Amino acid sequence: MKVSYVLRNHAGKSRKIPAGESWQWHHFVEDEEQANAVLADLKKKIRENRLQLVNLFVDKLAVDDFEKLKIRFSYKGQVQYDDRLCPKRIINQHEDLLET
């Protein structure tokens, strides 16, 4: 399963992404549990770094269709969708199961 999203530093307040830039992440996860963990981390990144969430997809489903996959994601802000956005950096990550 693929989780992809773009984080944009529109306000110039982020410490992680330079002002005015957008970075895109692609996470390759095994199941809904891992997808939920990725999305929880995403909320944390947005909140801590004051970023804007753009183009959030899980297996090509928009945020409104997550119920079909049993994905839990609540976000106060608005998820924007912009197909003209060109991210400055693309990060591919594979989420392995954590051994505890």
**Per-residue model confidence as pLDDT tens digits over 29-82:** 887 788 888 989 999 999 888 899 999 888 766 666 666 666 767 777 888 999
pLDDT at 88: 94
pTM given for the model: 0.80
pLDDT at 62: 60
**Cα separation, 53 vs 19, whole angstroms:** 15
**Cα separation, 66 vs 10, whole angstroms:** 26
How far, in Å, are 86, 89, 98 from residue 1 at the CA level? 23, 21, 17
Q: Give the residue carrying structure tokens 């990550």.
A: 93
Confidence band, pLDDT 50/70/90 cuts, at residue 99: very low
